[in-house]
Structure 1
Amino acid sequence: MDQSAEMPAQPGFATGARQDDAWRTLLPTDVQEAVSSALRDAAHSLVIPSFRSSRPAELSRKASGTLVTQIDRDVESRLAAVVTMLLPNSRVIGEEAVAADPKLLMHLGDEWVWVIDPLDGTANFVEGQAPIAMMVSLLNRGTPILAWILDPLEDILLTRGRGEGLTTGQAAAAAPSLRDLRGAAWIRYFDDELRKATEGRFSAVGQVTPGCKCTGAEYLSLLQGQQDFVLFWRSMPWDHTAGILLLQESGGHAAYLNRDPFRPGAKRYGLLAARSRQIWDQVWTALIEGVPDPEGLLSREVKVY
């Protein structure tokens, strides 16, 4: 399944862009196709063979304590080489590069920035379990303008540019009942008091699962209509930028739990994504409104994630 956006066929640079799409005139016309091909090439030559191998990938832990494999690093390096060749004046901010140099995050507002999550769901990958995902987004002066998510095991690829629109799966009901909604809540990462308060409200919603340990897969599930909302704790740019742009293009909504809009460079806890603004409001009211937050974790930026 490839939901890639149609791109102009002529070589060179796109022309005739809408007024709010001036960025298109500055990009190669084949940028979406080229990045899509690079993602699939990396999936077929690096990710899938290692996933299916009887020999586990070289594994270590980053300073944050999260798992990383050599495949994460190799995929990021390969994708970075491709995207910087496509746009030579651009900067790459990849998950693994930031692990080595956190100051890279200070450049998210640069003119052209690629944000790369080379292997989302590393814990699943190490265990030989699905789902896993690969994600890329392109920002222009801090604004996401292009997004890609690939499920390498199922070969499902979604890509869109800002303003193009996206239709996948079944449309969200115009006035859904809370009892009919299904979603995921990654509350295992929540502050203890917030977790207990939020978990105590789950009975108001039709179904709440603990999540699949893969942010990219959660967004694909939202986009395909397989679930209605996902409640996250951390909001790293490589985990959410691509998924939120695709979600917005499909008519969905994502915001922090104090209702502020998502910003790729913000260091914030608590993020809710939903298939529509109405569903977002319903779930926020049912699960979040009025929960105790004595340390103000939901209303301020933090020094580190």
Structure 2
Amino acid sequence: MAEIHKDGMAATVRMACGAGVLNAQENRTQGRGFKMDQSAERSGQPGFATVARQDDAWRARLPTDVREAVSSALRDAARSLVVPSFRGSGLADVSRKASGTLVTQIDRDVESRLAEAVTTLFPSSRVIGEEAAAADPRLLMHLGDEWAWLIDPLDGTANFVEGREPVTMMVALLYRGSPVLAWILDPLQDVLIAAGRGEGLSVGRAAAAAPALRDLRGAAWTRYFDDGLRHAIEERFPALGQVTPGCKCTGAEYLSLLRGQQDFVLFWRSMPWDHTAGILLLQESGGHAAYLNRNPFQPGAKRFGLLAARSEQIWDQVWTALIEGVPDPEGLLSHQAQTY
């Protein structure tokens, strides 16, 4: 399954990603430089790099209608809950979670609707929703269960509360800790991209075989980085063509990468519901994502610093330009992952 639009045609969608170019910082941070960590992480959870070595027994065990059923559930929740509340009166119940991020009743209602849909479809599976995990973090210990769903009911909640696009809804299905199916829906534009492991995905223009560093454009969510790291990385931005602060919606960043509207995105946070679906889709389209020590993303690993790019070559170029040798006196980029 590739890109599905409400009129059945591939869509060119307005995306807020990419607005406002960040400028280099004048301050120079002193300290030891960050170098690539060649050691393997021992999180106890399989990462994307191990997926190809696992058998495909999961395919035969899936309910036959799982793909269309999840797509329909996403669109139904979007039409009945998300779209009517956008810039409307349904956002009276807005609060902050312990993490400091916003949550609304719409987030909770969408998650409940989707959780009911996937458990009805697949009763033996575990559901790990962003809002449920915020209330009970112990749910994250089940990411390695035989079957587990990851649900981000409304990615970009801050944008939604402010009446701004983009926002997305994301679902991923994991088999024994490894992602096997992924969906990202832009509910306001009614654009859905979905794919399964090993199926391939073609949405936007292909990445250039050997792009010039000055031609690369992307986003860097450096506002979440430690101040010292942020300054050190931002002063390297002029080496690239264009670097924006990001659009406050992780799912939309992945959609933009898939369409070829930007070449890379640098993140600090790597929560599983924010990245699992997007990274599977990105990899199926020929892209690459990894932590800043070059180790593969793992849904069950707890660590910071993640780079996603339209190809492995672009990933290497951006990593070398922004990360290699950056002062990291606290070792924030190279620390070993912990499990949830």
Tell me the TM-score normalized by structure 2: 0.83
Give the corresponding residue for 2:71: 36
Would you say the 8 A contact 2:91–2:104 is kept in 1?
Answer: no
2:230 alignment partner, SS class: helix
Residue-pair matches, total? 291
Could you list the per-position Cα deviations for residues 194-232 of structure 1 after superposition, in whole angstroms to 9, with x for gaps in the alignment? 100000000000000000000000000000010000000
Which is further off, 138-147 or 19-28?
A: 19-28
Q: Percent identity?
A: 81
Which is further off, 286-295 or 225-234?
A: 286-295
Give the corresponding residue for 1:53: 88
Which is further off, 239-248 or 288-297?
A: 288-297
The aligned amino acid for 1:228 is D
**Does residue 104 of the first structure (1) align with residue 139 of the second (2)?**
yes
The aligned amino acid for 1:163 is G
2:305 alignment partner, SS class: strand
Give the corresponding residue for 2:182: 147
Give the corresponding residue for 1:290: 325
Would you say the 8 A contact 1:57–1:71 is kept in 2?
Answer: no
Give the corresponding residue for 2:234: 199
The partner residue of 1:131 within 166, 178, 189 is 166
Distance in 2 separating the partners of 1:45 and 1:105 = 29
Distance in 2 separating the partners of 1:142 and 1:300 = 22
Give the corresponding residue for 2:270: 235
Distance in 1 separating the partners of 2:91 and 2:307 = 34
The aligned amino acid for 1:153 is L
Distance in 2 separating the partners of 1:52 and 1:129 = 8
Could you list the per-position Cα deviations for residues 221-261 of structure 1 after superposition, in whole angstroms to 9, with x for gaps in the alignment? 00001000000000000000000000000000000001000
Distance in 1 separating the partners of 2:273 and 2:335 = 20
Task: Tell me by how many angstroms 1:293 deviates.
Answer: 1.5
- In proportion to residue count, which structure has more helix? 1
Distance in 2 separating the partners of 1:56 and 1:263 = 34
Unaligned runs of 5+ in 2: 5-53
The partner residue of 1:246 within 281, 291, 296 is 281
The partner residue of 2:335 within 290, 300, 303 is 300
The aligned amino acid for 1:58 is D
Q: Which has the higher contact order (CA 8 A, sep 6+)?
A: 2
Give the corresponding residue for 2:3: 3
Would you say the 8 A contact 1:202–1:287 is kept in 2?
Answer: yes
Task: Tell me by how many angstroms 1:292 deviates.
Answer: 1.5
The aligned amino acid for 2:226 is D
**Does residue 87 of the first structure (1) align with residue 122 of the second (2)?**
yes
Could you list the per-position Cα deviations for residues 71-113 of structure 1 after superposition, in whole angstroms to 9, with x for gaps in the alignment? 0000000000000111111000110011000111111001000
Would you say the 8 A contact 2:213–2:239 is kept in 1?
Answer: yes
The aligned amino acid for 2:284 is E
Unaligned runs of 5+ in 1: 5-18
Distance in 2 separating the partners of 1:296 and 1:94 = 31
Task: Tell me by how many angstroms 1:144 deviates.
Answer: 0.2
